[in-house]
Amino acid sequence: MRKPLRTLWLVLALGSLGCEAEIPEGVFGCEVDDDCPPELVCRTNVSRCFRTRSPVDAGE
């Protein structure tokens, strides 16, 4: 329960600055997409929030 509240407070604090903040990937822990900030999704295999559902291999 503490993790979602901590995430909520951080998002609210960043949002109150009046500018758009770039939220880094892999910082927020999650269990479902609703645990992540709006532009991120939960990768359940690593329990972290990222911009895409799965990693993209740029080498192939």
Question: By the 8 A CB rule, do 28 and 48 touch?
Answer: yes
**In sequence order, what DSSP letters do the residues of 40-59 get, joined into one string?**
-EEETTTTEEESSSS---TT
Q: How many domains does the chain have?
A: 1
> Does some domain include residue 36?
yes
> Does some domain include residue 44?
yes
0.85 surpassed by pTM:
no
The pLDDT score that the predictor gives to residue 9 is: 77
> Does some domain include residue 58?
no
> Does some domain include residue 16?
yes
More confident residue, 59 or 47: 47
SS3 12: helix
In the predicted model, is pLDDT for residue 60 greater than 50?
no
Q: Look up the domain containing 13 and give its range.
A: 2-50
Give the CA count within 13 Å in the CB-facing half-sphere of 7. 21
pLDDT digits (tens, 9 = 90+) for 11-53: 777 665 566 678 889 999 999 999 999 999 999 999 999 999 8
